[in-house]
């Protein structure tokens, strides 16, 4: 929609000049559609190069120090480290105080994190302090947190969530790994503040994609995986939850990358439905699980039920069809004999429904997704579960290919006619 509005705004002066519309009408059109925010590609490029430059400078400084590092005394090493830290902090403070542009802030704060990490490592080496990689990551990320809030920067925020995720993955203690939730929660107020300003900016979309993926990792680390049923309920409910949230509060994105909640949610729902359609899945054992497994399953499931009940009238048939997945998971784990039939039928139904909505909305991508779901089902289920001759397989491939091409031609033709009418 942004492209169309931008094109319209460029055409308005010509239309006014040729007396097709009046200047007042052009003004009313702009007021109706509102301002169009363009991507600041120049600013993005400057930010990327400033970050790259600071990383190269930091690497060069460390290499220079490492050249004669062992020949220096402990006192000399300590002085060099602290002088580097203090001077970098003063520079970052100057950048923040003078409210410099985004490339300045991103570059200077990235350099400060780089120096902080090097300082911790070098001090530990100089004085033989005990510790491991995980403690190093955790300390560095916690020191990074104030920088994020003070400078309002993107890369340090990205590094923080990435670092906390790495810290959680490297932990072996199940109870200790639960601290990943409050640690990620520490950055969320900053994220919410940014998202309120402009949810669809490149930097905010990057952070949103990362935090969604980090939350999936956090769920995986938190669960004890002692009960396949509860794990599946937790994940199916979570993917449905983020899909519902995307449909309610982030439904203006035009591209796939601008809809992270719906994209990851839909992908997760389809993958779980596909996996559950196989026979080798254990039935649910109610009392064979840890408390956290029950807690996450109930929390995500109850939240989904609340959203569906509250916003029922806002959801279309496709969203409501996706919303029944957690119920199917519970039902098929209680009655495993029906699992294969139910999930295969469910995926075929979803595929057909997505095709219908794709044709109705004239969206080739959505129609192709439905075709892909049905094609994968046919190929994976019938080709490998039943003995089918090569001739039959060839005919099925041809039919599927023709169906996909026909739908694309039909939608492309309709889109072309629509553009001509406009």
Contact between residue 30 and residue 21 where contact means Cβ atoms under 8 Å apart: no
pLDDT of residue 418: 47
pLDDT of residue 419: 47
* Joined tokens for residue 71: 């020949």
Indicate the pTM of the whole model: 0.79
pLDDT of residue 311: 92
Contact between residue 164 and residue 178 where contact means Cβ atoms under 8 Å apart: no
Distance of CA 339 to the CA centre of its chain: 30
Q: What angle do CA 91, 40, 365 make, to 5 degrees?
A: 130
In the chain, the N- to C-terminal Cα span, in Å, equals 14
pLDDT of residue 421: 44
pLDDT of residue 46: 62
Angle at which helices 133-151 and 102-126 pack, to 10 degrees? 150
Local mean pLDDT, 10-residue blocks, the chain (422 residues): 67 79 79 64 61 70 66 80 87 85 82 87 80 88 92 91 93 81 94 88 90 94 80 93 93 82 94 80 60 90 95 91 92 83 89 86 80 81 60 68 68 54 44
What are residue 189's phi and psi, to 5 degrees?
Answer: -55, -40
What are the structural domain ranges in the chain? 1-38, 48-130
pLDDT of residue 369: 85
* Joined tokens for residue 408: 């694309």
């Amino acid at each position: 929609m942004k492209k169309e509005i931008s094109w319209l705004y460029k055409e308005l002066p010509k239309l006014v000049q040729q007396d097709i519309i009046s200047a007042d009408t052009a003004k009313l059109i702009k007021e109706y559609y509102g301002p169009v925010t363009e991507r600041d590609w120049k600013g993005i490029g400057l930010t990327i190069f400033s970050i790259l430059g600071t990383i190269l400078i930091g690497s060069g400084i460390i290499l220079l120090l490492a050249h004669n590092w062992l020949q220096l005394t402990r006192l000399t090493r300590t002085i060099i480290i602290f002088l580097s830290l203090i001077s970098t902090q003063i520079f970052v403070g100057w950048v923040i105080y003078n409210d410099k542009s985004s490339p300045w802030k991103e570059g200077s704060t990235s350099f400060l994190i780089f120096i902080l990490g090097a300082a911790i490592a070098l001090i530990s080496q100089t004085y033989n302090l005990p510790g491991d990689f995980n403690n190093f990551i955790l300390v560095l990320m916690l020191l990074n947190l104030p920088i994020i809030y003070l400078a309002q920067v993107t890369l340090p925020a990205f590094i923080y969530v990435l670092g906390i995720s790495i810290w959680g993955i490297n932990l072996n203690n199940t109870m200790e790994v639960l601290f990943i939730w409050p640690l990620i929660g520490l950055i969320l107020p900053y994220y919410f503040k940014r998202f309120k300003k402009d949810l669809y900016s490149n930097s905010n979309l990057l952070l949103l994609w990362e935090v969604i993926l980090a939350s999936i990792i956090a769920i995986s680390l938190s669960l004890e995986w002692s009960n396949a049923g509860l794990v599946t309920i937790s994940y199916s409910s979570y993917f449905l939850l983020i899909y519902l949230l995307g449909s309610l509060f982030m439904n203006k994105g035009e591209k796939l990358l601008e809809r992270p909640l719906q994209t990851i949610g839909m992908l997760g729902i389809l993958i779980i439905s596909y996996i559950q359609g196989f026979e080798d899945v254990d039935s649910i054992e109610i009392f064979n699980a840890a408390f956290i497994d029950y807690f996450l399953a109930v929390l995500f499931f109850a939240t989904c039920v609340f959203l569906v009940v509250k916003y029922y009238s806002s959801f279309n048939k496709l969203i409501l069809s996706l919303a029944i997945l957690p119920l199917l998971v519970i039902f098929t784990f209680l009655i495993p004999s029906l699992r294969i039939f139910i999930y295969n039928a469910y995926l075929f139904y979803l595929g057909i429904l997505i095709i219908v909505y794709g044709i109705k909305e004239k969206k080739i991508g959505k129609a192709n997704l439905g075709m892909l779901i049905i094609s994968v089902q046919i190929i994976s289920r019938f080709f490998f579960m039943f003995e089918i001759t090569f001739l039959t397989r060839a005919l099925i491939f041809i039919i599927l290919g023709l169906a996909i091409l026909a739908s694309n031609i039909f939608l492309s033709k309709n889109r072309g006619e629509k553009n001509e009418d406009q």
